[in-house]
Structure 1
Amino acid sequence: MIIGIGNDMESISRIEGVLSRRPNFLSTILTPAEQEAVQKRTGKHYLEFVAGRFSAKEAYAKALGTGIGRDVSWQDISILNAKSGRPVMKVVGQKNRIEVAITHSGDYVNTVVTIERASWLQRFAARFIGRKEN
């Protein structure tokens, strides 16, 4: 059962401007693992990565219904890619299933996040078997 849906759209050029004005922006919004991953990208792909992660975290906070702040911080949310390239979101303390989609077009990135209440079987599998990513 879906318990939250969040959507966010961000201008990549706006994020580029923020990066030039605020040198600590990356360390504020990206986890150390995300910061390592973004360093492997250049040019347009670097900016798309940062804007996509920012937007996806905003979308998650909207799905949660709390926004970024007291209940969830930028550093609680990590989005890395599976071997297939699919983005995978992990959130500290979140037991429910999270799906994220990130898409870029021109100067914009759009993200959608769903939070789905995990069934007892999914919770059991995640705890004792683990979820394999392809």
Structure 2
Amino acid sequence: MVVGIGTDICDLRRIAGVLARKGDRFAQKVLGPAEWQVFQVRRARAESRGLAYLASRFSAKESFSKAIGLGMRMPMTWRSCEILNHPSGQPFVHLSEELAEWFAARGWRAHVTLSDETDYVVSFVVVETLADAPASPSP
């Protein structure tokens, strides 16, 4: 059963502006440890690749927070929700800390998709109950 759906569109120029003003502090606030490593590698190849990566993760976390019904309030934090990729390239949601416990207690599973163009990234998240999960407590 679908628990929640979240979507977000992000203007890369907006993220570029924030990065220009705040520098790496912004990226370190938004990205978890594994995402930070990928961001550094992509940015080293091309600034535009790093920017698109950061914007896509920002957007996906916004979508995820909407799908779970919390927005950006505890236990949802930027760094406790990471959007990583399987070797095939498929993105997936990796949770840690209190958010992982909170999410698992509800017996939920998340699906995420990302897409980017020259100036925008878009993300879409669907959260569903696992087939054998008990009835979920409300957010």
TM-score (norm 2): 0.83
Structure 1: which 5+ runs fail to align?
Answer: 122-134
Other-structure match for 1:32: 33
Mapping for residues 7-46 of structure 1, pairs under 5 Å: 7-23=7-23, 24-41=25-42, 42-46=46-50
Which structure 1 residue ranges, 4+ long, deviate > 3 Å from structure 2?
Answer: none
What's the offset of the Cα at 1:106? 2.1
User: Structure 1: how far apart are the matches of 2:74 and 2:82?
Assistant: 17
Other-structure match for 1:90: 94
Other-structure match for 1:58: 62
Mapping for residues 60-75 of structure 1, pairs under 5 Å: 60-75=64-79
User: Structure 2: how far apart are the matches of 1:56 and 1:11?
Assistant: 13
User: Structure 1: how far apart are the matches of 2:33 and 2:75?
Assistant: 20
Identity percentage of aligned residues: 36
What's the offset of the Cα at 1:71? 3.0
Measured against aligned partners, the alpha-carbon deviations of 1:56-102 in whole angstroms (never above 9, x if no partner) come to: 00000111111112231111101111000111112222221110000
SS of aligned partner of 1:7: strand
User: Structure 1: how far apart are the matches of 2:75 and 2:40?
Assistant: 29
Does 2:108 align with 1:104? no
